[in-house]
Structure 1
Amino acid sequence: MNMFQDSDPDNPDKDKCLGENYVGPGKLDTQVQLVISLSLGLSAFLSFCALRPRWKTLYAARKRHSNPILGLPALPDTFFGWIPALYKITEQQVLSSAGLDAYVFLAFFKMSMRLFGVMFFFAAVVLEPINRHFIRNQTPDSGSSQSFFFHQYHTFRTYETLDPLDDKDPPDRDNDNSFDRNMGYLWSYLIFAYFFTGLTLYFMDKETSKVIRVRQDYLGTQSTITDRTFRLSGIPKDLRTEEAIKDLVQKLEIGKVESVTLCRNWKDLDKLMEERQTVLAKLEESWSVYLGHKPLAAVGDQPTSRRNNAIVNGDSDPLYGADEEAGESDRLLRGGEARMLERERPQARFWYGFLRLQSRQTDAIDYYTEKLRQLDDKILAARRKTHEPADLAFVTMDSIAACQMAIQALIDPHPGRLLTKPAPAPSDIVWKNTYASRLSRRIRSWSVTAFVAILTVVWLVPVAFLASVLSICTINKFLPAFGDWLKEHEIARTLVQTGLPTIVVSLLNVAIPYLYDYLSYQQGMLSHGDIALSVISKNFFFTFFNIFLIFTVFGAVTSIFDVLRNSLKDTTYIAYTLARKIEDLSVFYTNFIMLQGLGLFPFRLLEFGSVAQYPILRMGAKTPRDFAQMVQPPMFYYGFYLPTALLVFILCLVYSVIPGGFLVLGLGLAYFSLGYFTYKYQLLYAMDQPQHATGGAWRMICYRIMLGLVVFHLTMSGYLALKKAFTVALLIAPLFVATLWYGWDFRKRVEPLTRFISLRSIERRGEGGETAILDEDFSGADGEEQREVLRRGSTVDEDREKGSRFVNPSLVVP
C-alpha cells in the first residue's frame, strides 16, 4: 500500500482517505513510539520516586488517614526501596486494608499477567518460528532491515495480492487451500486458537472460583448493618408505613426485623440543606477573609504530620475544636476573636425588587449569618413535617442469614411488587433518588441510555475526523508542500501518521469517562456503587465500539453503511472485514498498548492531574474546610481505568495467533504488570474508593472477556478464510459455540454467587464462632491464612460503617 500514491483519473477511489490509511504502518513507527513511550514513562516514574517521600500528603494520603489497625506496612523513603516492599504485600493484606472491590480489580490484572505470560511464551517459542519459516521465505523483501510489523504488514499485503480478492467481496470458496502443503502453517493457527481459548477460559474460571470463595468468606464473616439490610421496592400504598412493612416481613417467618426506614419525599428538605451548604461556605469564606486567617500558616511551626492531623481530626489548633455539636461558624470564630484586627469588613451584594433588578451591598458576615439562621429555622420546621411516603424502604434484619433469605426469595405474587435487592451502604446511597417514583427513574434511565446510544453514533464523526485529518492522504490533498516534506523525513511522518492518532485516542480515553460519569449520575440509580458499575459499562461500550470497531470493521463514517449493507447480503462479511483491517491496524494498536502501558501508567502513578491542580486549589483555598479537603485522598474510580484495561485484554487476544502476535502479547504482559503495581500502590496508599460494590465488577469483567473471545474467533475465522483455508476457518465455529455456551452456563451457575451470599458461607455465632463452610473448601496454607486475616479484626467495611444508620443525613446532620 503506497501512502503517497498520486491521483489516478481512471481510479478515483485512490483519492479517498480510507480508514486503514489513517494509521498505516511505516518503517520506524514502532521504534519511534517506543522511544516516546519510554521517555514519557521514565521521566514520570523517576519524578514520582523523587517526590514520593517529600509529598506524603499526596502520595501517602490514604495511608495517613487510614485506621492503623489495618496493619498496612509503611514503605521506605528510599528512591527505589518502596518497590520490593510493595511487591511483598499479599492479597490478604490488600483485602483487609483496601476491601473487596480493590481485591477484585487487582485480581483481574494479576490473572492477565499470568495468562499473557503463558501465551507470550508459546507465541514466541512455537508460533514465531513457524511464521519465520513459512511466511518470511515467501516474502520478496524478507531480507530488508524494516521493522517486524512493517515486514509482516507487507507479508499480509503480498498474500492479498496473490489472492484474487476484492475489497468488498469475500474470497471465492471454490478453491480451498486448507490442505496445501505450502499453507500448512494455517493449521497451527487453528490449534493455537483452541489452545489460547482454553487457556483464557481456564484462567478465568480458576480466578472466578477464587474470587467467589474470597467474596463469600469475606462477606459471610463480617457483620455490618449493610449486610443485614435489604432494599424493598414496589411497596403498595396500603403498606407505606414502617409498622405495616415490619409486620409484613415478620409474618414471612424468615427472621426478626430490627428496624425499617421508609423513604419519603424529602425533596424540599434536601434543597434547603443544599442551600444551607452554599450559604455556610460563603459565611466561612467571609470570616476567613475578615480575620485574614491562613489555616496552614497559622500552624506552620508544627511538624507536618501533626499539622495534617490537625486539619483532618480537628484536635491540635483552637480553630479545629473537637465539639461536633458546635456550629460551623462557632468553630471558625474560635481563636480568631483574641487576635481580631481592625480592618474593613467584607461586603456582599444581593439583588431584590421586581425581577431582582435592584441591588445593594451589605455587610457579608451579618448578611450570611442572618440567612443561615433563617435557613436553620426552615430546616428544623421541615424536619418536623410529615413527608409523603415513597415506594422504597430499607429493612434491617437481626441476622445476615435472614437478610439473604429475603433477598433471594419472591415475596409477592404480583409482578413488580415488593421486590427485594441487597441494600447499598448508608454512606453510598443517593438519597435524592430514593423518593423518586419508579416510573420517573425508568424514564431517566431510558433517556440516558438512548442519549448514550445516540452519542455513540455522534462520536463517530470527531473520531473519524481526527483520524482523517492526521492521515497522510489528507495532508497530501490539502497541504501538498507539508506532505512532500513528510516524504523526506521518515520520523516526522511516523509521528503524524501513527503517533498523533495514538495520542488522540488516548486523550479521548481519559476525557470521555468524565462525561459518562456525569450521565450515570443523572440516570436515577440509588447508590454510588451502582453508578460506578454503570460507568464501567458505558465507558467500555465507548472504548470498544468507537476505538476498536470504528478503526477496524467500519474504518470511517462513510464506510458504516457499506459494511452494514454488505453484511446483510453475506453474514460472513464482517468477519472478513474485521480480519483484513486487524492486519492493517497492527501497528496502531501496538503503539496504543505501548503508550498506555509504558508511557501513561507512570503518569497515573505520579498523579499528574492532582499535582497540576494543587497550585490552583491552594490559591483558591480560604477556609479551614477548603484546606482540609485539599489533604484528603483523591477518589479512585474503577470506571475510569477498567474499560481501557479490558480493551487491551481483547486486543491481546485478537492478535495472539496471527503473525507478530508475540510482540502484542509481550506488550500486553508489560501493560498488566505495570498496571498491577501502579493500581496496587494507589489503592493501598494514595487514593480512596468509597464505593461498596462487593466485588460486582468481576462478573462484568468475565462477560467482557467472553466478548473478547467471540471477537477473537470472528477475526481468526475471517483471517483463515482470507487465506482461502475454508476448512480450517470452519473449524473455528465450535470455539464460538463453546464460548456462547460457557457464557450461558456462567450466568446460571456463577453470577448469583457474585450478587448474593450463600447461607453456608454465613458465620454462625455459635460454638467456636466458625462459618458453615467446610474446611476442605479452603484447603491449603493460603486459605487458612486468609481465614485468619479475615477473622482477627474488623474488615475495612466494618470500620467504615461503624455507627451508621439508614437515615437521610438531611434529617439528622447537626
Structure 2
Amino acid sequence: MKRHKPPALPDSMFGWIIPLIKINQQQLVDNVGLDAVVMLQFIVMAIKLFSCCSFFGVVALIPISVTRGNITEANVTSTLDRLAITVLEDASHSLIAYLIFMYLFCFLTFFFLHQNFRTFLFLRSEYLLRLSKTLPCRSVMVTGIPRRLRTDEALADYYQHLGIGQVESAHVVRHIRNLNSLLKKRASALANLEKAYALYWGNPCPIPDYDPDRILDDAQLYQRVEMQQRAIEQDGNAIREQNATFLSGLVDLPGRLSHASGRKTRRPQIRPGWYNFCGKKVDMIDYYTEKFDDLDRQVCEARQSGEFEMTNVGFVTFQHMSSALIASQIAINPDPFNCRTMGAYEPRDVLWYNVIIRGRERLVRETLVWAVTILLSFFWIFPISAFSTLTSVDTLQRVFPKLVDAADDSPILQSIIQGLIPTLAVNIFMAILPLIFDALGHIQGIRARSAIAEATFSKYFFFLLFNVVLVFTIASTITKTIEELINHPAEVANLLGTTLPAVAPFFINYTILQGMLLMPMGLLLFGALIVRGFTHVFLCKTPRDYAQNRTPWSFDYGTGYPAPLLIFIIVLEYSTISPIILLFGAIYFCITYIVYKYQFLYVYFRPYDANGAAWNMVFPRVIVGMIIFQLTMIGLFVLKKYIVLGVLCVPLIVITVLFKLVMDAAYKKNCEHLPMQLLRDKVSRLPTHHDAAKETSSSKSHDTASTPPSLAATPATDSDNDSSDDDDSSHDDDQAKKLVDSASSAQNRWQRAVHFASSKASLQPQTSDAASLRPGQPLERSQSRHKRVVLDEDDYEAIPDRRTDYRQPPMMLNPGILDTGFKKYGNPALVGVLPQLWLPVKCPASGEIRQPLDRSKRLSSSQLHNERGQSSGHLASDLARMLRRAESAARHRAASTLTGIGGEESGSGSHHSNRSVVPVDTHSNRHEPLAKEDDNKAP
C-alpha cells in the first residue's frame, strides 16, 4: 500500500499478536473502512460480555451444580454433565440462582448492546462527515422514473427545480444486454491472444533485448510509417531510403527473438472448431488477432452509438450532501411508485445488470427465490437430523455396534465419535449454503453487491439458527422421545426436561471446534492456497492470468458475520444451562478478533464500503437470540417443576421487547441517515475562501485565534492531493488520538465527530495523473505505450515478479472491464476502461530485485482512449502484421545469405559475409489473410 499502510508485524511465531492488537481504531477506519471496524466492535462487545458472564458462571453457577447436583443419575455420563443445570433435583431451590443470573446476563447484554450502538453511531457519523464531499454521499438512486424524465437532462432538471439543492449531474441507466455479451467475447479473445504470445515467446520471455513497451511502440508507429511511406513515395529516393531504414529497425526487433532465445520458435496453432478440437489448424496469433480486432471494433461502435433504451432507474448527484439527505427522506412525486428516491450505492458496489430489472420481473424473482429458500430450509432438515443422531449412544449402538464397543474401552475414541465427527459433519455441510445463497441473490435481482451480502447474511443466519440450534436439538432426542411417549405417556414432561439440555455438550464442542480449529485455520488460508496453487501451476499462462490469480479477495460479510453471531446466540442460550460454555465463548471471540483483524488489515481487499450497514441486521438478531434463551429457561423451569420461576421469566421477555422498541425509536433513524445538525455544524466550521485569504494576509489576528489551526489552514475539498494528505498525516493522527482520549459524554462525542471531520482532509486522496497523449500528437520513443492502470481509489501496489508486472488491474467486478475509473455513475460497459493487449514480461536477470513500476509508467483511467482510432484492436493487428513482415524479411535475408555462401564456396578469393543468420519459423500457416498480406509486402 502506498498510503494508509498498516504497520509491519514481527515475523516470529507469536510476536505479531500484541502489535496487531495495539493497532488503534482510527488506523482501522483509515485502512479497512467502517464495515470491518463495526464487525470488530461486535466481536469486542462479545468478548466483554462473555468475559464478565464467565466469571459469574465459573465462580457461582458451576459450584452450585457440583455441590448441589445429583451426579448418580443415569443421564450424567460426562464431566460436562456434572457442571450443567441438569444435575439439579426437580423443584430445587438452587434453581433460584439460575433465575437471578439469567436476569443478570440479560441486563449485561442490554448494557453492552446499548454501548456498542452508541459507539457505532459515533463512528458512522464521523466516517460520513469525512466523506461528505465524495460522490456516493452526494448522490441518490431513483427508481420508477416516468417516461418523460428518462433522459439525463430531464432528470437533472426535475430534481433541480424541487428546490432542495443544486444538481451536479444525473444519469439514467441504459439497457445494454448485447454490449455485455460483446465485452465478454472481447475479453475472451484478448485472453487467448495473450496466451498465444505467451506460448510463442514464453512468459517470462528469456530474450535479452526483449522489451514489451518497445514492441508496442513499434506496433503503434508501424501503421503511421506505412501510410507516410505511401504518401511520399514519389518525393525522392532519399526520403524513401530514410523511411525504409526506420522500418527495418522496427521489424528487426521481433525478428531477433528466435535468434536471441537460442531456440527455434514455432508459432502456436489452434483448431478453431468445437472447443478447439475440430477444424483445420490455423495460426493462433493471426486467428485471435482478427477475432479480437473484429470484436474490439464492434464494442467501440456499440459504445459510441448511443442507441440504448432508457430504463426507469437513475442516479442524481447533488453539489452538497445535505441535498442528497433531504431527497432520500422525503416524498418526491405524488404518483404511486414514481421517483422513489434512496441513498445511492458506491459505483463499484452497483450490480448494473440487476439495476435494469423492472418492478414486475423483480417481484416475480423475489417470490421464486423466497420459495426456494423456504423449501431448502425444510429439505435441509433431513441431513442435519441424520448428523444429530450421531450424538446419541443408542443410535450408534444400533447402527455401529462394534464401533461403540471399541469406544467403551477408549475415552478418546468415544469423544471423537460423539463430539468431533458430528460437529465437523455439520460445519462442512452448512458451508455449502453461502454459495447457494449468493447465487440466489443474483437471481433475485438485488441491485448491489453489499445488498447481496446482506441478503446472504439474513438467509444463512436463519439456516444456521433453524437447523443447527433448533432442528439439531430436537432431532437428537426425537427417537427417544417417541419411544417414551408410547411406553410411558405421563413421563413426557420429565423426559423433555432432562433431554433438551443434554445437547449442551454438542454445542460446547461446536464452540470449541470453531474457536480452536476452524477460526485459526483462517490464518492459513488453506482454501485459497489450494485453489490458487492449482490455478498457478496448471492454468495460468499469461501475465494477466498470474496477476488475476494473485488479486486479493474481498471479505464476504454475508458469510463472515453469521458464524460469530450464531456462536454468540448459542453461548447466550446455554449460559445458564451449561455455564462452562461462557468460558469457551470468550476464548472463541478472542481468537476471532485476532484472526479477523489480521485478515482485514493484511489479507483482504476492500473494493467498496457499506458504511457499517450490517450492524442494523446484527442488533435485531441478537434480540431474537435473547428471546430464545428466555423461552428455553421458561420451559426448563417448568419442566423442573418450579413453575414460579418460569412465571418470573415472563417479565424479562417483555423487558427485552421494550428494549428493542426503545432502541429503534431512539437510534434507527440515525442509523439510516446522517443527522442534518452534524452536517450543518461541519459546514459552519469550515472556513470560506475570504476567511482563508484574510488569515493568510494577517499573521496573527483574532480570527486566527478563534478558529482552530487545522481549519484555518485549508478547507477540506475534493481537490486535496496526495502530498497534502501526507504532510498533514502526523497532525491528523495526533488530533485523532486527542479525540479518542477526550471526555465520553454524548454532546462531546458528537462535537468531536464534527470537529474531526471538518479538520480532516478528504479520506480519498486524488491521484496525480500523468500527461496524456492527445489525439494527433506524435508518440515519443521515451513514452511507454503499455502503461500501468491502477485503481483510482486503491492504495495497493504490487511488486512485479518473474511472471507478471501487474500493469493492468484485474477484471473482478465487471466482466470485460478493468477495475478502475469508477468515479461516476454510469454502466461500466459504457464508460469503463477496456483491457489492453498485455505482452509477456521480460525474464529478470539472475539476482535482479523487481521494483514496482514508477509513476511515469502509470496512466489514469481518464487518459485511456477507447475510441476506435486508438483502440487496442488496431494495435494488435499492427503488431501481428509487423511480426509477420519481420519473419518474412528474416527468411529473405536467410535465403540471400545462403545464396551468398554458396557463391563464395564456388568462387576463389571471396570473403565470407559477416551477417548473422536469423532462424525463423517455417511452420507458419500461409493461408490466413494476415500472412498473405505480409508476405506480399516483404522487401
For the superposition of Structure 1 and Structure 2, which TM-score range results when normalised by the shorter chain? Answer: 0.7 to 0.9
Listed as ranges, the matches of 1:421-440 within 5 Å are: 421-440=342-361
Displacement of 1:225 after TM fit? 0.5
Aligned-residue offset at 1:779: 6.5
Shift in Å at residue 515 of structure 1?
2.2
For the structure 1 residues 783 and 603, does the alpha-carbon distance in structure 2 shift closer, same or farther, using more than 3 Å as the test? farther
Distance of aligned partners of 1:618 and 1:491 in 2 relative to their CA distance in 1, 3 Å threshold: same
Equivalent residue for 1:610?
A: 528
Residue 88 of structure 1 corresponds to which residue in structure 2?
A: 22
User: How far does residue 469 in structure 1 lie from its aligned partner after superposition?
Assistant: 5.9
Provide the alpha-carbon RMSD of the alignment.
Answer: 3.6
Shift of 1:471: 5.1
Contact 1:86 1:681 in 2 (8 A): yes
Q: CA 1:734–1:318 in structure 2 vs 1: closer, same or farther (change >3 Å)?
A: farther
> Relative to 1, partners in 2 of residues 1:473 and 1:553: Cα closer, same or farther, differing over 3 Å?
closer
Q: 1:753 aligns with which of 657, 660, 670?
A: 670
Distance across 1 between alignment mates of 2:391 and 2:499: 18
What amino acid maps onto 1:351 in structure 2? Answer: G
The yes-or-no answer on 1:200 pairing with 2:132 is no
Q: 1:651 aligns with which of 567, 570, 575?
A: 570
Q: Distance in 2 between matches of 1:112 and 1:599?
A: 19
Is 1:101 the counterpart of 2:31? The answer is no
The corresponding residue for 2:302 is: 382
Identity of counterpart residues, as a percentage? 31
Aligned mates of 2:410, 2:743 — CA distance in 1: 67
What secondary structure does 1:732 align onto? helix
CA contact (8 A) 1:262 1:394 kept: yes
Conservation of the 8 A alpha-carbon contact between 1:428 and 1:528: yes
Query: Equivalents in 2 of 1:374, 1:623: separation in Å?
Result: 22
Between 216-225 and 471-480, report the one with greater CA deviation: 471-480
Q: Deviations over 1:445-490 (max 9, x none)?
A: 2211211111111111222223346754344334433343333333
Is this contact kept in 1: 2:126–2:754, CA < 8 A? no
Counterpart secondary structure, 1:99: helix
Contact 1:230 1:394 in 2 (8 A): yes
The CA deviation at 1:748 is 3.3
Which SS does the other structure have where 2:612 is aligned?
coil
Aligned twin of 2:2: 67
In the alignment, the residues of structure 1 paired with residue 334 and residue 482 of structure 2 have an alpha-carbon distance, to the nearest angstrom, of 47
Partner of 2:54: 120
Distance 1:255 1:810 in 2: 30
Distance 2:450 2:197 in 1: 37
The alignment of Structure 1 onto Structure 2 pairs a total of residues equal to: 685
Unaligned runs of 5+ in 1: 1-65, 164-176, 178-182, 300-316, 563-572
2:99 corresponds to which residue?
190
What is the Cα deviation at residue 520 of structure 1? 1.8
Partner-residue secondary structure (3-state), 1:764? helix
The 5 A counterparts of 1:346-745 are 346-351=268-273, 359-383=279-303, 384-468=305-389, 472-555=393-476, 581-619=499-537, 620-658=539-577, 660-661=578-579, 663-745=580-662
Amino acid across the alignment from 1:240? R
**Helix, strand or coil at the partner of 2:576:** coil
Please tell me whether the aligned partners of residues 387 and 426 of structure 2 are also in contact (alpha carbons under 8 angstroms): no
Change (3 A) 1:612 1:156: same
Give the AA of the match of 2:25: E
CA distance in 2, matches of 1:581, 1:446: 39
- Aligned equivalents of 1:103 and 1:80: distance in 2? 23
Structure 1 residues 123 and 467: alpha-carbon distance in aligned structure 2, compared to 1, 3 A threshold: closer
Instruction: Compute the displacement of 1:92 (Å).
Output: 1.2
CA contact (8 A) 1:470 1:501 kept: yes
- Matched position secondary structure for 2:51: helix
Q: Which amino acid aligns with 2:167?
A: V
Question: Structure 1's 791 and 361: CA in aligned 2 closer, same or farther, altered over 3 A?
Answer: farther
Q: RCO higher in 1 or 2 (8 Å CA, sep ≥ 6)?
A: 1
Secondary structure, aligned partner of 2:279:
strand
Mark the CA change 1:612 to 1:270 in structure 2 (over 3 Å): closer, same or farther.
Answer: same
In 2, Cα distance between the equivalents of 1:790 and 1:147?
A: 61
How far apart in 1 are the matches of 2:136 and 2:352? Answer: 16
One-letter identity of the residue aligned with 1:286: A
SS at 1:390's partner residue?
strand
Select the residue among 280, 283, 286 that pairs with 2:190.
280
Distance 1:496 1:357, change over 3 A: closer
Alignment partners' CA distance in 1, 2:462 and 2:111: 25
Aligned counterparts, 1:19-98, within 5 A: 66-68=1-3, 70-98=4-32
For residues 668 and 334 of structure 1, the distance between their equivalents in structure 2, rounded to whole angstroms, comes to 70
In structure 2, the CA distance between the partners of 1:616 and 1:149, relative to structure 1 (3 Å rule), is same
Q: 1:116 is aligned with what amino acid?
A: F
| Contact 2:460/2:559 (8 A) holds in 1 | yes
Q: Is the 8 A contact 1:464 1:556 kept in 2?
A: no
Q: Does 1:248 align with 2:161?
A: no
Q: Counterpart of 1:204 in structure 2: which amino acid?
A: L
Contact map agreement 2:122 2:749 (CA 8 A) in 1: no
SS of residue in 2 equivalent to 1:433: helix
Tell me, in whole angstroms, the C-alpha distance in 2 between the residues paired with 1:585 and 1:334: 78
How far apart, in 1, do the equivalents of 2:45 and 2:561 lie?
14
Do the aligned residues in 1 keep the contact of 2:193 with 2:288 (CA within 8 Å)? Answer: yes
The Cα of 1:788 is off from its aligned counterpart by 4.5
Equivalence for 1:17: none
Report the 3-state secondary structure (helix = DSSP H, G, I; strand = E; otherwise coil) of the residue aligned with 1:731: helix
Distance 1:439 1:782, change over 3 A: closer
Query: Deviation of residue 322 (structure 1)?
Result: 14
Q: Which digits, 9 at most, give the CA deviation of each residue in 1:773-811, with x for residues without a partner?
A: 999866679985996489544326984598711121111
Query: What is the match of residue 824 of structure 2?
Result: 805
1:259 correspondence with 2:169: yes
**Aligned-partner Cα distance in 2 for 1:534–1:320:** 46
8 A Cα contact 2:152 2:171, kept in partner:
yes
Unmatched runs of 5 consecutive residues or more in structure 2? 224-250, 484-491, 688-706, 717-738, 767-792, 795-819, 835-939
Q: Contact (CA 8 Å) 1:75, 1:85: kept in 2 or not?
A: yes
Amino acid at match of 2:427: S
Please name the residue that 1:132 is paired with: 66
Task: Tell me if structure 1 keeps the 8 A contact 2:126–2:753.
Answer: no
Structure 1 residues 202 and 469, CA gap change in structure 2 (3 angstroms) = closer
Alignment map for 1:201-220 (pairs within 5 Å): 201-220=110-129
Residue equivalent to 1:174: none
Task: Please give the alpha-carbon distance, in whole angstroms, between the structure 2 residues aligned to 1:73 and 1:450.
Answer: 48
DSSP-derived class of the 1:421 partner: strand
Question: Match for 1:594: what amino acid?
Answer: I
2:270 is paired with a residue whose SS is strand
The residue that corresponds to 1:29 in the other structure is: none
Q: 2:81 aligns with which of 133, 150, 154?
A: 150
Alpha-carbon contact 1:263-1:390 (below 8 Å) kept: yes
Note if contact 1:424-1:692 (Cα within 8 Å) is conserved in structure 2.
no
How far apart are 1:747 and its partner, in Å?
Answer: 3.1
Change (3 A) 1:471 1:132: closer
Native 8 Å contact 1:72 1:97 kept in 2: yes
Contact 1:250 1:257 in 2 (8 A): yes
Counterpart residue identity of residue 257, structure 2? R
Offset from partner CA, 1:26-81 (integer Å, 9 cap, x none): xxxxxxxxxxxxxxxxxxxxxxxxxxxxxxxxxxxxxxxx332x152221233332
Alpha-carbon displacement from aligned partner over 1:401-432 (angstroms, at most 9, x marks no partner): 11010011111223322111111111111111
Query: Which amino acid is the alignment partner of residue 681 of structure 1?
Result: Y
- Deviation readout 1:370-427 (Å, 9 max, x if unpaired): 1111112221222213211111001000011110100111112233221111111111
Change (3 A) 1:794 1:188: same
| Kept in 2: contact 1:778–1:784 (CA 8 A) | no
- In structure 2, the CA distance between the partners of 1:506 and 1:531, relative to structure 1 (3 Å rule), is same
